[in-house]
Structure 1
Amino acid sequence: MASQRADVAREAAMSEELSRFWSTLARKFEGDRTHTPFSPRRSILTSNRSTQATWTNLVDPEALVDATSTHYLKETFTGSKEEGDVTEALFAGEAGTPLLQTTLENCEIKSGDGVVVVDGGKIGDVPALYRVQGLQAHERPVVGTYVDPAIVPGFCYQVREADSTKMLFKGEALRLMSVGMGYGKRITFASDLHSVNNNYFWSDSHPEGYGFGLCLVQEHDKFTLKDANDLAIATAEVMDLLGPQVEVGHHYLDNGGLEKQAKVALLCKVSFFDEARKDKLMVVRGVAVAVKAKGPRAVALLKRIKECSIGGERGLVLEAGTDTSSIIRVISGDKIGEIPTKYYVRGLLPFEIPVVGTYVDPRILTGFRYRVRPTDSKKHLFGGNALILQAIGRGYGKRLTFASSELNNNENYFWSDSNPDGYGFSIQAVSPGDDFRIVNSSGDELGHARVFRTDTPQVEEDSSVSPEGCVTKRVRVTVTCDVAFHGEDDHTVIVTGTAVLVRRGRLASVQKIEDVALGSQMSILFRRGCETLLFLRK
């Protein structure tokens, strides 16, 4: 009896497959024919009898569907009100606007009444229609023979059965290795075991389908935090994921690679390079960007998290990887005509200029203000104050002397080889208390500004010497100012620009700040008016 039942089931399955085959073949030959539009409220038996006989009618007389419709249904929806609503949505309009729209450019899925309807015919696969219930807004469907085209090998996904809250693979986000072919597609994920891999299932294993959630960022990922000037100011480590990662971008690059973007909310441990700001946990929101190279075995790599908002500050970027003291910088004395020694300096920050052993970087000149930090410490010398460099000695160990308030007893000095790990010098062009006049491109005075905070590192961009012996340095600065335009109240704004320092004689002083950008809505007003702001030193 069991064998007879198996034979009957096998024959029924073969008959159904033959029916599907002839139906598909008939659509290819009869695609140009015109039929009566399908109406879910009207029975097939009462439809217009003048419809011409086709292969579809002969194989399946109840499958009379408009050939111009987007979807093909093999059943008449006469069930509950919910099913009727979904059917009406499917066949709304003469052209049959589909309920599900998978747009890879903006990764948008539309559904009605909590039900997602997918059609394999739209993606060039088996023309089967499925209704998936229980998908969350950030998830992509996999059901039966259908695998959403936005699900790409090389990226990491969390998988959940659509009718369950429990995640597969213990909730871990695993890298998708391959998606098989055929009716039931085998979906394989990466495994820690090399000899055997049990991280797989078939697309039709669960009748209710699956939900795939993209994961570009995972716990313990490390980043380098950069400000609007592309300067590294801190490192960050992801401690927790504060919600699902919503895919908002999916497009192919010119070199054949694939870029995906997703909105993320993270809890990160942020370690600032400036010792004045302690390590703390901060909420980070932004758009993660990952790129997968061309090729079936390529692995997607997280590049950055852009448009970050951290602790109320915007415009920051988290670059994948850390820029910490583990980075070693090689310095050679023979390149500057000095003693031919080579040093390996560990812990030098991107905006710092090195001094180690017998080597003093030629960009370090007397008359300019510098903050000095031993590369093996977070604490700066001289109480963290930026002092004027007065003299650079000669010989192997060069004595560097800074200005002091005590003229008879100056203890603000050290030798270049005092610390075996070296020193990092950071220039300070603008200091708290500096006053500026604000003028426009026409030279008209608009107001005045006073600097009261200079927390962001200032980076030297270039240096030049005139025939008369004047030294000019251009330094990129980001400072906080009290700005007052004529006839308006004072505003506290962040000012970014290029400070121009000139040394005539022994001391250098800032002359102006060019390419000024204000961190407020006032900057938009000046841009629309094609006005260029300039800060002139009073």
Structure 2
Amino acid sequence: MPFDQTADEGCFSRHGGATAELEDDANNNPYLDGWRNDGERDDIFEKTRHSALQMPLEKGGFTKLMKLEDKENDESNSINDCGLICLRKHELSVEGVHVDQCILPGFKYKVRRLGVKNKYLFEGRALHLLSISQGYGKRITFESKIKNLNSNYFWSDSNDDGYGFSLIAVEHGDKFTICNLRRRPIGHAIVEDVDETQTEINSKIDGTEITKEVGIRMRCRVRYTSEPHGMMSLRREETVFINGLAVVAKSRTNLKAVTKLIKNIELMSVGPCLFVKEQ
């Protein structure tokens, strides 16, 4: 399947039709084109999270808390009474006219088609979400290498069983600068493997920027350049397993969210530290 061809090519919205045009009105995507007003902004986040995620939403603070379950105790799939593959704990729901309020344009997602034909769209690639149209059957469009003929889209009601969206903050091959808590560089790290269950823990809005904190587990190859006290490191390289909290931010002026850093990390050899993303 070509990169820019979706698994649902040829599907149409029951409400919008196959020829429905993508609306470019700024009201469609407040995170890309600015807030309409403070009242409407509060209404956007008034509803609670999808019940399958068990992540209550606190109005005003826009704070969601979720206890991370151990991977060993987390089943890969949740099976319903009909034997169909359903939403996983870390996934966000899109089904029919419903789109989870935490799915926002600009952030990167992997999309899984639920049901008997359980598979990932876009050849399993994580892509930045460009837009979500209004209406009953919402056209959901992702980035494409082909700018003038983007086929990376589908309708929210194309699949009766819905879709599962996985927020992606860190990927294989990402590079970070290791810093102590005073932001002094002490080494470099390359991500060799990352758990697919990256889970949104907290979100907040600061002016025109929205920030998400994502719980991650990953394996990194670490190369030290100096010790936290500033002396030359006697260690060279090692492989470490890390649990941390990735900070992903998107401003109104940028079309794509970026991972700024990973915090809440403690390495056995250097203690508490930060992984700052190398852009």
Report how many residues are paired: 206
* Distance of 2:187 and 2:88 partners within structure 1: 35
Q: What TM-score results when the alignment is normalised by the length of structure 1?
A: 0.36
* Residue type at the aligned position of 1:206: N
State the partner residue of 1:221.
Answer: 174
* Residue type at the aligned position of 1:307: N
User: Which residue, 143, 153, 166 being the options, matches 2:105?
Assistant: 153
Instruction: Give the structure with the larger helix fraction.
Output: 1
Kindly report which structure 2 residues correspond to 1:131-210, keeping only aligned pairs within 5 A, or say none: 134-163=86-115, 164-210=117-163
Alpha-carbon displacement from aligned partner over 1:274-310 (angstroms, at most 9, x marks no partner): 4521222221210000111025x63211111001133
* Distance of 2:260 and 2:239 partners within structure 1: 22
State the partner residue of 1:317.
Answer: 274
Contact kept, 8 Å, 1:282 with 1:311, in 2: the verdict is no
* Distance of 1:311 and 1:165 partners within structure 2: 40
SS at structure 1 position matched to 2:109: strand
* Distance of 1:171 and 1:234 partners within structure 2: 32
State the partner residue of 2:7.
Answer: none
Q: CA deviation at 1:231?
A: 1.6
Kindly report which structure 2 residues correspond to 1:505-520, keeping only aligned pairs within 5 A, or say none: none
* Distance of 1:102 and 1:162 partners within structure 2: 23
Please provide the CA RMSD for this pair.
2.8
Contact kept, 8 Å, 2:50 with 2:93, in 1: the verdict is no
Contact kept, 8 Å, 1:283 with 1:311, in 2: the verdict is no
Larger Rg: 1
Q: CA deviation at 1:262?
A: 0.6
Kindly report which structure 2 residues correspond to 1:356-435, keeping only aligned pairs within 5 A, or say none: none
Kindly report which structure 2 residues correspond to 1:16-95, keeping only aligned pairs within 5 A, or say none: none
* Distance of 1:267 and 1:98 partners within structure 2: 30
Kindly report which structure 2 residues correspond to 1:94-105, keeping only aligned pairs within 5 A, or say none: 100=51, 103=57, 105=63
Q: What TM-score results when the alignment is normalised by the length of structure 2?
A: 0.67
* Residue type at the aligned position of 2:131: S
State the partner residue of 2:215.
Answer: 263
Q: CA deviation at 1:196?
A: 1.8
Q: CA deviation at 1:218?
A: 1.5
Is the alpha carbon distance of 1:199 and 1:232 closer, same or farther for their aligned partners in structure 2, counting shifts above 3 Å? same
State the partner residue of 1:304.
Answer: 261
SS at structure 1 position matched to 2:64: coil
Q: CA deviation at 1:138?
A: 0.3
* Distance of 1:224 and 1:141 partners within structure 2: 34
Is the alpha carbon distance of 1:99 and 1:248 closer, same or farther for their aligned partners in structure 2, counting shifts above 3 Å? closer
Contact kept, 8 Å, 2:130 with 2:143, in 1: the verdict is yes
SS at structure 2 position matched to 1:170: helix
* Residue type at the aligned position of 1:242: D
* Residue type at the aligned position of 1:248: I
SS at structure 1 position matched to 2:183: coil
* Distance of 2:106 and 2:264 partners within structure 1: 25
State the partner residue of 2:37.
Answer: none
State the partner residue of 1:236.
Answer: 189
Q: Which has the higher contact order (CA 8 A, sep 6+)?
A: 2
User: Which residue, 224, 227, 243 being the options, matches 1:285?
Assistant: 243
Contact kept, 8 Å, 1:307 with 1:314, in 2: the verdict is no
| Pairing 1:294–2:252 present | yes
Identity within the alignment, %:
33
* Distance of 1:212 and 1:98 partners within structure 2: 14
Q: CA deviation at 1:268?
A: 1.3
* Distance of 2:213 and 2:50 partners within structure 1: 24
* Distance of 1:288 and 1:279 partners within structure 2: 23
Is the alpha carbon distance of 1:107 and 1:142 closer, same or farther for their aligned partners in structure 2, counting shifts above 3 Å? farther
Contact kept, 8 Å, 2:247 with 2:259, in 1: the verdict is yes
Identify unmatched segments of 5+ residues in structure 1: 1-12, 14-96, 117-131, 323-538
State the partner residue of 1:247.
Answer: 200
* Residue type at the aligned position of 1:262: V
* Residue type at the aligned position of 2:250: K
Contact kept, 8 Å, 2:49 with 2:101, in 1: the verdict is no
